[in-house]
Amino acid sequence: MESERIIISGATSGIGCEIAKLYIGNGYKVGVMGRRIELLNELKEKSPENVFVQQLDINSDDATTNFQTLIDSMGGMDIYFHVSGIGYQNVHLDYDKELRTAETNCKGFTRMITYAFNYFEQQGKGHIACITSIAGTKGLGVSPAYSATKRYQNHYIQCMAQLATIRKVKITFTDIRPGFVATDLLNDNHNYPMLMKKEFVAQEAYKAVARKRRVKIIDWRYNLLVTAWKLIPNCVWERLPIKN
């Protein structure tokens, strides 16, 4: 594991930060990216020789340039873990919130995933992991853009997996789909059922990547929930007053 080099986007807080701590503690060379450089530097203090820091905004035009700078400083990359993302409950359809969500979860996501794919194709192998959500299973009226963008991410990763087969390149993909997690993202005065701790989700994500799982739903309760959701016909689903 000491030779494994992983880069994590969205490592400044929440699930991304907890995932970074796990990889640091297990001897990986870890590159951390995010907008808040002071929080990234706190991670570097845990292992100055093995942690590499790069300030980066996935919505910025220079994101891939900064991404490559970090790859170069680490001497390469073996795993890319995409954790960056935003979302809102938005029943009033605040225009700016919907567009910001689409910008980050679709455009920014695509920018980073495609760059990692192309890098690994040139390298001949690699592993792309991503934190998505069970929200992509069905359209949720209280969170339109978030739900739709997570569906986009689920399908995009599937497309990349098929494309890797078409191009005959050895890239592993792991799509990690948690339910509600107690992070700043959900600090919006709403009540969320079956709320999970970010540390638990990070541990499950870490294990899923180590085992090279293609799709991992966290946890068993949400696995049952997603199974039930899939059985509900759309004509029924669209009439359900789901508020969370």
Domain ranges of the chain: 5-237
pLDDT of residue 224: 92
pLDDT tens sequence across 166-180: 999 999 999 999 987
- Kindly list the distances between the CA atom of residue 34 and the CA atoms of 12, 121, 198, in Å, as whole numbers in the listed order: 6, 24, 18
Average pLDDT, the chain: 92
Is 5-237 a CATH 3.40.50.720 domain?
A: yes
- Beta pairing partners, 218: 178
Mean pLDDT of 23-27: 94
pLDDT of residue 193: 61
Summarize the confidence of residues 80-88 as an average pLDDT: 94
Q: Quick one: average pLDDT of 151-179?
A: 97
Query: 29 pairs with which residues across the strands?
Result: 5
Q: Quick one: what percent of the chain has pLDDT higher than 70?
A: 93
> What average pLDDT score do residues 1-15 get?
86
Q: pLDDT digits over 44-82, tens only?
A: 998 999 999 999 999 999 999 999 999 999 999 999 999
Report the residue count for the chain: 244
Q: What was the pLDDT predicted at 1?
A: 44
Q: Which has the closest alpha carbon to 136: 43, 217, 35? A: 217
The whole-number pLDDT of residue 184 equals: 56
- Matching residue, tokens 């085992």: 211
Indicate left, alpha or beta for 20 from its phi (over 0: left) and psi (-120 to 50: alpha).
alpha
244 pLDDT band, cuts 50/70/90, is low
> Judging by beta carbons within 10 Å of its beta carbon (0-12, 13-18, 19+), is residue 50 exposed, middle or buried?
middle
